[in-house]
Amino acid sequence: MPMPASAADIASVYKRTSQALLDAIQSSWKDENLLIMSDMYGDQWPNGLMLDILVKHEIHHRGQMTVLMRQAGLRVPDLYGPTKEQWAEYGALPPVI
């Protein structure tokens, strides 16, 4: 496929495909489907494990994105709550977790 023309194009395709996955799972799967074994990298994994790894993989890439955005001098979006920059704007320190 050709390189997307813009970040908006990438965001649009991502939103469409992630919503399609969510719709398919919600409409077709029951709890038992989480235990069904499916091929993943030539191995057999339970569907529930694949979903768990998919979520963690997405978290990993969001983390990468925030680092790259800061390196580029861009404002980091508040994906999981206020960013350290937003806490500074509030005149407060980020909570220690």
Tell me the CA end-to-end span of the chain in Å, nearest whole number: 42
pLDDT at site 48: 96
Same structural domain, 89 and 67: yes
Whole-prediction pTM: 0.69
pLDDT at site 81: 84
Same structural domain, 53 and 82: yes
Q: DSSP of 5-71, one letter per residue?
A: SSHHHHHHHHHHHHHHHHHHHHHH--GGGGG-EEEETTEEEEHHHHHHHHHHHHHHHHHHHHHHHHH
pLDDT at site 18: 93
Same structural domain, 96 and 72: yes
Structure tokens at 40: 């993943």
pLDDT at site 94: 75
- Mean pLDDT of successive 10-residue segments in the chain (97 residues)? 90 94 94 96 95 93 90 88 87 79
pLDDT at site 46: 97
Could you say which DSSP state residue 92 is in? S
d(CA 17, CA 13): 6
Same structural domain, 52 and 11: no
